[in-house]
Each structure stands twice: as C-alpha cells, then as structure tokens.
Amino acid sequence: MTIQPRAFAHVRLTVTDIERSRAFYDAVLGLPVAFDLPPDADEKTREELSFLFGGVIYQLGDSLFGLRPVASDRFDEDRVGLDHVSFAVAGRADLERASRHLDRLGVAHEGIKDIGAGYILEFRDPDDIALELFAPGS
C-alpha cells in the first residue's frame, strides 16, 4: 500500500528578513493571518507559538502558507529543494488583475504566459524565491 495524500497541509518558506518578506506577501497576496506571535505575548503564549520560529502563518483556503526567518543565504531554484511556489486563481481575468496589482507595487513579473494547460504569471519575492499564479485554461 502507498501513502495517498489528498492535498498539501501547508508550505513554509525560509526567508532572510521577516519584516521585509511579510510586507511583500501582505501587499501582494493579502492573505489572512492564521498564526502570529503578538508583540506583547506572555511566556506561555510564546511557548505555545514556538512553532512559528518568529515568523507568520497565513490561511490559504484549506491550507496554510508560512514564512520562517532563519535563512542566511539566497534562494536558487537550481539547487536541491524548492523550485517555485504556484498559487491557483480562478481564471485569466484574475491574472490580468494580478499583473496590474504587481505593476502598482513595482514588483517585476514576466507577464501572462499561455502554457497550454492554462496561464501563468511569474514573479519573485524579496529573497528571489520564484512565485507563480496559475489559472486553468478555458
């Protein structure tokens, strides 16, 4: 018998500067925060939320997306590990809105590409982590 997962539970990225990365993801994705350590947290709360490692975890539909501030190097999709993170959107119109949003924020992107199975919009976060928005083809 094999393991048969039905979805991702969560993805967490390691980043070099949590404040900078958090500001980027808040501005670009605007996801609600699921877990965050309040600045005035008491010792019990700090212990209960120690799994955050000083980062933040966002709610992304039925999954979680987190940032953890411990990296001292830079992302490279050609090294063993993460290649990129792709976020699903409903359709091409969402990619067009996202493209304009990224332009307003000054975030460089590749423009919308037709990849046959759908459309993608590629960009990078402050640590140069490759990100993508994916919309199914119609």
- Which one of 45, 71, 97 terminates a domain? 71
The CATH number of the domain where 128 resides is what?
3.10.180.10
Contacts with 98 (C-beta within 8 Å, 6 or more apart), sequence order: 89, 121, 133
Is the confidence at residue 138, as pLDDT, over 80?
A: no
Number of other CB atoms surrounding residue 133 within 10 Å? 22
What total number of domains does the chain contain? 2
Helix 92-105 with 18-28: angle, nearest 10 deg? 130
Tell me the pLDDT tens digit for each residue of 14-27.
999 999 999 999 99
Same domain? 15 vs 55:
yes
Please compute Rg for the chain using Cα positions: 16
Residue 103: per-residue pLDDT? 97
Residue 77: per-residue pLDDT? 79
- Which one of 20, 40, 71 terminates a domain? 71
Same domain? 96 vs 46:
no
Same domain? 138 vs 96:
yes
Nearest to 118 by CA among 76, 73, 86, 80: 86
Nearest to 14 by CA among 82, 80, 60, 64: 82
Cα angle at 34 between 28 and 40, to 5 degrees? 105
Cα–Cα dist 87/131, whole Å: 8
Residue 3 in domain: no
Tell me the pLDDT tens digit for each residue of 29-82.
999 999 999 889 999 999 999 999 999 999 999 999 999 998 778 778 788 788
Tell me the pLDDT tens digit for each residue of 83-131.
999 999 999 999 999 999 999 999 999 999 999 999 999 999 999 999 9
